[in-house]
A and B are shown apart, each in its own frame.
Chain A
């Protein structure tokens, strides 16, 4: 299932709808990096509100997405991790360290605008 990716000015917003297969995650990774290059985006927001589990593969893929996008000079923010999912993740020792996180899409945009304002 393809993940919809929207362009919002200099940002890209990818909204994950439901449980993603490993293949879907791979596809998301490729789609994102292609678009970051094509649109010269400054940041990517990945909205995982609809995900009710986050396993180690998904977490690793998100970290890799963030790393790849950083190589293009862009920022990644993961938003919408649910309380139960966050709890399960830390218990399994799955962290998203080195990736920025925010409560939801709104907070993610606030974070990015503050960050870019400071750099400007």
Chain B
């Protein structure tokens, strides 16, 4: 960007004749002039911008046609935001755009990158147009810069917010999918746990299980952790708490599928293994549960 010469402005102020702003230099007028210029040169500037985008290898996840189509919408929204000086429409557009391109694998730095490139392309065209009138160029930039920066900000924030929304949604879905509480017999629940357990998931698991015990009037619960690779001390404590809380509701818990690592963790944290009922595998756990419930398996 051109370095602003502040003495130019100061000397302008000291000069009484130059103090009064002519109508053609009022900020709103300048903005209108600027927007008109951007609209007139739309095709050329947009092309230049798309060229810069492929030069810097951004939006590689999209085809040339797609980039061109989106570039057109972004350009028009950009100019409109400059013109109306309102950003709600731009925010909505940014979120909408993000919703479309996030599944395509477009990253945050790419979105911020292309908006900044557009800002640069438009600024350069302003320099070119007003290069003979330095003072006017300064005034035009005074009108352009804050608006352009706000636009870049709005688009970036909109994109990030949409990304975060998607992530939250996915996390919720994963959590729900991954903690089924299954009733396999009268009074017998099975809770197969697969994957990574963080403290939040452990908490959700416990709540879900306790509700399940009450709803199904379960007397025995088999918690199978074959699918859990590792467990830190916090989560191991959660498991112990789950066993104790289940007992308070009158249910016995059998834990099956402990890996050697997890068994080690439990011993290390000093779990009273007398309190915890453990069996090697899920099959064994179900068999013991059935025995506790008074079932007898008879081959037919």
> A111: nearest residue on chain B (CB-CB)?
B250
Which candidate, A18-26, A29-37, A95-103, is the interface stretch facing chain B? A95-103
Q: Is the Cβ of A89 less than 8 Å from the Cβ of B213?
A: no
Across-interface contacts of B206 in A (CB, < 8 A):
87
Q: Is the Cβ of B213 less than 8 Å from the Cβ of A90?
A: no
Q: Most B CB atoms within 10 A — which of A78, A79, A102?
A: A102
Q: Is A107 an interface residue (CB 8 A)?
A: yes
* CB < 8 Å neighbour of A81 from B217, B219, B241, B249: B249
Q: Is B228 an interface residue (CB 8 A)?
A: no
Q: Is the Cβ of A87 less than 8 Å from the Cβ of B207?
A: yes
Whole-angstrom CA separation of A97 from B248 in the bound complex: 9
Min CB gap B59→A, angstroms: 48
> A48: nearest residue on chain B (CB-CB)?
B248
Q: Is the Cβ of B241 less than 8 Å from the Cβ of A83?
A: no
> A82: nearest residue on chain B (CB-CB)?
B214
Q: Is A118 an interface residue (CB 8 A)?
A: no
B231-271 interface bits toward A, Cβ cutoff 8 Å, 1 = contact, 0 = none: 00000000001101111111100000000000000000000
Q: Is the Cβ of B250 less than 8 Å from the Cβ of A102?
A: yes
Q: Is the Cβ of B249 less than 8 Å from the Cβ of A103?
A: yes
**Interface residues of B, count at CB 8 A:** 19
**What is the total of A-B residue contacts with beta carbons within 8 Å?**
50
Given known A-B contacts A90-B245, A95-B244, A83 and B250 have beta carbons under 8 A apart: no
Whole-angstrom CA separation of A68 from B250 in the bound complex: 22
Q: Is A91 an interface residue (CB 8 A)?
A: yes
Q: Most A CB atoms within 10 A — which of B217, B241, B250?
A: B250
Q: Is A86 an interface residue (CB 8 A)?
A: yes
Across-interface contacts of B246 in A (CB, < 8 A):
86
Q: Is the Cβ of B247 less than 8 Å from the Cβ of A101?
A: yes
Across-interface contacts of B211 in A (CB, < 8 A):
83
Q: Is the Cβ of B251 less than 8 Å from the Cβ of A87?
A: no
Across-interface contacts of A86 in B (CB, < 8 A):
210, 245-246, 248-249
Q: Is the Cβ of A96 less than 8 Å from the Cβ of B250?
A: no
Interface size class of A (residues with CB under 8 A): 20 to 34
Contacting B at CB under 8 A, from A67-119, are: 78-79, 81-84, 86-87, 89-91, 95-97, 101-104, 107, 111
B48-75 interface bits toward A, Cβ cutoff 8 Å, 1 = contact, 0 = none: 0000000000000000000000000000
Whole-angstrom CA separation of A101 from B248 in the bound complex: 6
Whole-angstrom CA separation of A111 from B251 in the bound complex: 12
Q: Is the Cβ of A87 less than 8 Å from the Cβ of B250?
A: no
Contacting B at CB under 8 A, from A34-73, are: none
Q: Is the Cβ of B250 less than 8 Å from the Cβ of A103?
A: yes
Q: Is the Cβ of A89 less than 8 Å from the Cβ of B249?
A: no
B146-181 interface bits toward A, Cβ cutoff 8 Å, 1 = contact, 0 = none: 000000000000000000000000000000000000
Whole-angstrom CA separation of A101 from B247 in the bound complex: 7
Q: Is the Cβ of B217 less than 8 Å from the Cβ of A87?
A: no
> B246: nearest residue on chain A (CB-CB)?
A86
B197-210 interface bits toward A, Cβ cutoff 8 Å, 1 = contact, 0 = none: 00000000011001
Min CB gap A51→B, angstroms: 12
Min CB gap B110→A, angstroms: 44
> B212: nearest residue on chain A (CB-CB)?
A83
Q: Is the Cβ of A91 less than 8 Å from the Cβ of B241?
A: yes
Whole-angstrom CA separation of A103 from B206 in the bound complex: 16
Contact residues of A with B, CB < 8 Å? 78-79, 81-84, 86-87, 89-91, 95-97, 101-104, 107, 111
What are 9 inter-chain pairs, A to B, with CB distance below 8 A? A81-B249, A86-B210, A86-B249, A90-B241, A90-B244, A103-B250, A104-B250, A107-B217, A107-B250
Contact residues of B with A, CB < 8 Å? 206-207, 210-211, 213-214, 217, 219, 241-242, 244-251, 275
Q: A87-B210, A89-B248, A103-B217 are in contact. List 12 more A-B contacts (CB 8 A).
A: A79-B250, A81-B249, A82-B214, A83-B214, A83-B245, A86-B246, A87-B245, A90-B242, A97-B275, A101-B247, A102-B250, A103-B251
